[in-house]
């Protein structure tokens, strides 16, 4: 089991369905179907064996990621349009 879809039944009981790592698309379709049925708090949790490293950015030093790529994301500019060019 590497993918689990969780949801709440109408009476509030928690429920889940397990999927193997290779079945991400069926897990997503199942989540979609559950939402259409009116299930609440539908979410997917994964622990995929082929995932490389930790999810997300775990360190930025000097504006660069550990692999050397530039990382200049900043929430302050969200919705404010692109940076002005000089």
**Segments making up each domain of the chain, as ranges:** 1-49
Task: Specify the pLDDT at position 34.
Answer: 97
Task: Specify the pLDDT at position 75.
Answer: 67
Task: Specify the pLDDT at position 78.
Answer: 61
How far, in Å, CA of 5 to CA of 38, rounded?
15
Task: Specify the pLDDT at position 65.
Answer: 82
- Higher-confidence residue of 30 and 50: namely 30
30 has pLDDT over 90: yes
Nearest to 26 by CA among 46, 42, 3: 3
Task: Specify the pLDDT at position 86.
Answer: 64
- For every residue of 51-71, DSSP letters joined together read --S-SS----BTTB-TTS-B-
Distance of CA 62 to the CA centre of its chain: 27
Question: Which of 9-13, 26-30, 52-56, 74-78 shows the lowest per-residue confidence on average (mean pLDDT)?
Answer: 52-56
How far, in Å, CA of 39 to CA of 10, rounded?
7
């Amino acid at each position: 089991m590497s993918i689990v879809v969780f949801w709440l039944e109408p009476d509030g009981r928690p429920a889940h369905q397990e999927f193997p790592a290779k079945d991400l698309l069926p897990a997503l379709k199942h989540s979609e179907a559950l939402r259409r049925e009116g299930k609440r708090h539908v979410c997917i949790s994964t622990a995929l064996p082929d995932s490389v490293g930790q999810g997300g950015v775990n360190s930025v030093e000097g504006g660069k990621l550990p692999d050397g790529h530039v990382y200049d994301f900043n929430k302050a500019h969200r919705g404010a349009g692109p940076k002005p060019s000089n």
